[in-house]
Amino acid sequence: MLTDPWADFDEHERVVVARDPESGVAMVIALHSTVLGPALGGTRMNAYADQDVPRAAAYSDALRLARAMTLKNSLAGLDHGGGKAVIVTDPAQGTPDLLRAYGRLVSTLDGAYVTAGDVGVSVEDLDVISETCRWTTGRSPEKGGLGDSAILTAVGVLAGMRATVEVAMGAGSFDGLTVGIVGLGKVGGRLAQHLTQAGAVVVGYDPSPQAREHTLDTCPGALLLGSLDEILAAELDVLSPNALGGLITADLAATTSARVICGAANNQLASPDVADLLPGRGITYAPDFMVNCGGVIQISQEYTQGTFEQARVQAEAVYDTTRRVLERARSQGVTPVAAAEAEALDRIRARGAEPGAVV
């Protein structure tokens, strides 16, 4: 249960809380910063069924994720601030009428927030949202978009992982490395394919039968384990979280065999202090907001009428950003999270903003 609804408020510029009058579904939109440009970030649909106060959980999620988007967009070199939205319902209840109502809510912000997809919101859903909101990205090509942003999210994570194993392990390739992928959905499944093709031994887990079946079809050599505990206890070189956040706890930091943690999931660390525990165990963590930016790069290109190939080039540049940040962390004696945040804030400061206006 969340006892302090303000705990994750961190100088956010605006937070909108609303309810669709027809369905009764609550919605939260958090704008963390617009210093670099319109806030850009996805919308997730989640019922928060495991929370005592679902709306409070959604509010906290939106705040934390919006702040992360400010850092992610800055680090990716995009002219966008950070925003995030949550529709508090099960994705199965995401009717066209509800999605159109959400589009109307986003439109009231008059371009201060540009929305896209996230957990529980598909390309098809975004096409519907775009019927009532022109500030919608991640649409299908038929609706003028660049399609599924998960494709380039996986490309960016792969590039960041390649840089991280080079810096942390001195490995010039993935040949023979065992990579444990938690979450084999749209991003994790594609990442498994890329890693298999690059010579890695892929070990995976996903509770979805469909995701497991698809992975076995596309990655015949992958080993799928039966539980989350089993994959977290496995002998791994790299652990790649690609589902919901909070996987990397203090306990896991103390027990995992992985020397690198790099994945697409947002907010992978269960608490900020976990970042300080990892170096002591010889674990290099590639901050999620540094490597999972391929999707937001793609939707940024869509927003400015760019091309998929332009976005791919930018996503592959995550390799250079990761090497630069990890080398900064090493030379300054700080964690990769601190180094990545500092680099993101350097760019925001260059626009004349005081740090307190952003974080």
What pLDDT does 272 receive? Answer: 93
Quote the CA–CA distance of 141 and 18 in Å, as a whole number: 30
Q: How many CB atoms lie within 10 A of CB 350?
A: 10
Confidence (pLDDT) at 353: 67
Give me the pLDDT at residue 164, please: 98
Q: Measuring CA to CA, which residue among 357, 359, 286, 297 is closest to residue 319? A: 286
Task: Return the structure tokens found at 227.
Answer: 């539980």
The 3-state DSSP class for residue 208 equals coil
* 186 assigned to active site: no
The span from the CA of 136 to the CA of 302, in Å, is 10
pLDDT at residue 336, rounded to an integer:
98
Q: What pLDDT, in 10s, does the model give residues 179-198? A: 999 999 989 999 999 999 99
One of 72, 84, 143, 186 is an active-site residue; which one? 84
Report domain 151-292+325-341's class. alpha beta
Phi, psi of 283 (to 5 degrees): -105, 130
CA 9 – CA 62 distance, rounded (Å)? 10
Alpha-carbon distance of 55 to 48, in angstroms, equals 8
Q: In CATH terms, is domain 14-68+81-147 a member of 3.40.50.10860? A: yes
pLDDT at 11: 84
Specify the pairing of strand 26-33 against strand 81-88: antiparallel
Task: Say if residues 293 and 318 touch (Cβ distance below 8 Å).
Answer: yes
Please indicate whether the domains covering 14-68+81-147 and 151-292+325-341 agree at the CATH topology level.
yes
Q: What is the mean pLDDT of each successive set of 10 residues along the chain, which is 359 residues long?
A: 61 94 96 95 91 85 92 96 96 96 98 93 96 96 90 96 98 96 95 97 96 94 95 98 92 97 94 96 97 96 95 97 98 98 93 56
CA max distance for the chain = 57
pLDDT tens readout for residues 111-140: 999 999 988 899 999 999 999 999 999 999
- How many angstroms separate the CA atoms of 75 and 32, rounded? 15
Of 292, 164, 291, 170, nearest to 238 by C-alpha is: 164
pLDDT at residue 245, as a whole number = 85
The H or E element spanning position 341 is helix 336-349
Residue 108: CB partners within 8 Å, gap ≥ 6? 16
> What are the domain boundaries of the chain?
14-68+81-147, 151-292+325-341
